[in-house]
Amino acid sequence: MRVVILGAGFGGLEAARAMAGAPVEITLVDRHNHHLFQPLLYQVATAALSPGDIAWPIRTIFRRQRNLRTVLAEVTGIDAKARMVQAGDALAIPYDALVLATGASHSYFGHDEWAPVAPGLKTIEDATDIRRRLLLAFELAEVTEDAAERRRLLTFVVVGAGPTGVELAGAMVELARHAMPREFRRIDPAAARVVLVEAGPRVLPTFPEELGAIARRSLEAMAVQVLTDTRVTACTTSGVECGEERIPAGTIVWAAGVVASPAGAWIGAERDRAGRIQVGPDLSVHGMDGVYAVGDLAATKDAKGKAVPGTAPAAKQMGRYVGRLLAARAAGRPAPAAFAYRHHGDLATIGRRSAVVALDGIRLTGLIGWWFWGIAHVWYLIGFRSRIVVSFEWLWSYLTFQRGARLITGREPRGGNAARVPGHASVAQPPENRDTPADGSDGTRIHLSST
Residues with catalytic roles: 167
SS3 47: coil
Residue 35, beta-bridge partner list: 56
Q: CA-to-CA distance for 318 and 103, rounded, in angstroms? A: 12
In angstroms, the CA 444 to CA 194 distance is 34
Task: Give the chain's length.
Answer: 451
State how far the Cα of 171 lies from the Cα of 352, in Å rounded to an integer: 8
223 three-state secondary structure: coil
- Cα separation, 111 vs 124, in Å, equals 23
Task: Judge whether 43 and 391 are in contact, CB under 8 Å.
Answer: no
What are the C-alpha distances in Å from 2 to residues 14, 133, 282, 291? 17, 44, 19, 12
What is Dmax (Cα atoms) for the chain? 75
Residue 414's Cβ-count burial label (10 Å; 0-12, 13-18, 19+) is exposed
Beta-bridge partners for 364: 357
- The conformation of residue 16, written as its DSSP 8-state character, comes to H
> How far separated are the first and last CA of the chain, in Å rounded?
21
Q: How far apart are CA 40 and CA 50, in angstroms?
A: 10
